[in-house]
Structure 1
Amino acid sequence: MTNDRNIHILSNARIVLADAIIENGWLAISGEGIAEIGEGCPPERGEDVDGDLVMPGLVELHTDHLEAHYVPRPKVYWNPLAAVVSYDGQLATCGITTVLDSLRVWREDTDDEVDGEAMKLANAIATAREAGLLRADHYLHLRCEVPMPGVVNEATSLFVRPEVRLASLMDHTPGQRQFRDEEKLRTYYRGKNAGMTEADLDNMFATRIAYQKQYGDNNHRALVKLAHEQATPLASHDDTTLDHVEQAISDGVSIAEFPTTLEAAGALHEAGVRVMMGAPNLVRGRSHSGNIATADLAKADKLDILSSDYVPSSLLAAALTMPKFVAEIDLPKAIRTVTKTPAEAVGFTDRGEILAGKRADLIRVHVAHDVPAVRSVWRAGRRVA
């Protein structure tokens, strides 16, 4: 290795490769990429990381946490650009270097003001990117609520954006999928919108059921067609039965988000569809809505990808915890669920693993009392946190 001032060396590191760990290793960053990896002492003095873990930057495919920054309280709108910058900073300090921001592509007459704001938030993300305000690499995930009357028109205007990397087909109609038990959905809305009465819920549920009957099938076909025309990967959502699995396979989905039963998850996995589950589910030990536990799918070897969903810090915590839940899963395999596999699922071939020639998206992680702390973050070779 030449004495190049543009080379930055990390030494005395536990380096997590895609299929192994270098217990005492070093790596060299040159420009935007990983130049070299080695074991023992580096050929030149480097930054001593004191035995901390060095692993690929995390790749997040589904987080709707931006909404909490944009509407931090009911009926309180934050400046959308400021919300994006705040949210981005939280992601980066949690070790996430590539993120698909999940935006709701639908509008509904409820107290939830985040609905119908996908274009505004997409524009704010683009503005932040162009202004150099972002630490992580941001793309878009369009969450399409299939039965909603205006979803196809709104999706059509968004699908053409080059930053769109994933679209999910969702149906939260009462009595279906995640909410086959309508009382669970009522409990969810009672907690989320405390001002809703039982009569309000009755009206909402009746409207949603009517929308599903009137628009569901046609919207589903139109959204699948849009995704295929734009070569955008598709995700199914909350698959519960084998009929849902057959529909997902027919639609050509590449990812199954949060299947609710072992039967559905197993059939999807066997069909080559990558199964994605919530990291908060694994950290908490159960689903917040009573569905299949992430740990159970991991034990059955039916889990491919983790998503932080609504708690950004859960992504790293869950991956580091997984080997404790499942003896057959070692640390490299667990870390692949938040790095290499999600990257490949949406077409990123330049990141997601520590390998010479790959992009230097890296994180340094210190663990104490079973809690990880991200000490440093590099994106494309530049330290961003």
Structure 2
Amino acid sequence: MTLTAPRGSAELIRAEAPVLAHNYHPLPVVVARAEGAWVEDVEGRRYLDLLAGYSALNFGHRHPALIEAARRQLDRVTLTSRAFHHDGLAGFAESLAALTGQDMVLPMNTGAEAVESAVKVARKWAYEVKGVPEGAATIVVAAGNFHGRTTTLVSFSTDDEARAGYGPYTPGFRVVPYGDADAVADAVGDTTAAVLIEPIQGEAGVVIPPEGHLRAVREITRRAGCLFVADEIQSGLGRTGTTLAVEHEDVVPDLVLLGKALGGGIVPVSAVVGRRDVLGVLRPGQHGSTFGGNPLATAVGTAVTELLATGGFQRRARELGAVLDADLTALHGHGVVAHRARGLWAGIDIDPAVGTGREIAERLLREGVLVKETHGSTIRIAPPLTIGEDDLHRALTALRTVLAA
């Protein structure tokens, strides 16, 4: 048997180049191990993870309760398909419905699948319940949105990088400015099936709508007799200091889309949760997924709901979010032009004279902190909700150092 010496970061990155499709431009770090808020590369260097898998790792890397739930399930059964019942599905659905205050759960795998499912359900509901003529249903969406990368979802993206080159595009969507309730009201009509928005736009740079916007959208959709669909795939499950971001305005949508953190950073798990009379339009054979609601996914997903049911992670996000907001405010005029924060989630606009978002991310990497740039001069911060206050200060001190340099 021949033993091969472990390769370093540079060698592994070069090895990826000829065989991987170049749909990502990752930072030059090769992660080999992780725990909590920390990751370690193949050469033993440690980094604070302030991206947390785009909020898929709300509970940190390898949270012991989630790892244990997965291990227990791995010893029993991992997949049955929905052709049969399994003993974990009902419990998962009940716990997720209770956590979100909704009636019914449609389990899927990825966030994009959850959004696609909601589009289908909204259209079906419009034809069967609202009485929209077949083929005429429209859905109102917001500029700057990010709902996924399928052909249908990029059809109503306003980001040319995500959209260009994938036509012909799926019709049936009306795009309005984000946070503009009057524009939503003008776009809604007799054929409107739903208004689909992110309560906070993540990919756009953690863009928070004006106070009262979500309540206004809820009222507009109620008056128009259409659905309010909230995409909480990034903003939900504790990230903003509440279980769902819509709770900041005491709003209850008709459908809520969940993903990312629902799988605990272990397996892809997503779900559409909502009113029984809306999800109830689906009947056997009309929608499905081979892996949706599989035993391993529901075991991890149930453990996630149990962690959130205590309210401790939501409270921690609020408390540490106040620290994050204060530290970022102190950086205004010192390399930071502006920032937007809600809970442990922030978009930070860097002074272009200091560097691009990518350049700042690369400099932070050298300081042992991982972040992600978006839209030129903005970086996003979304640390695990388990991060310690000292580590959060450590990361923000590194940002100050990088900006000053």
Q: Give TM-score, length-normalised by structure 2.
A: 0.27
Q: Give TM-score, length-normalised by structure 1.
A: 0.28
Q: Which has the higher contact order (CA 8 A, sep 6+)?
A: 2
Higher strand fraction (1 or 2): 1
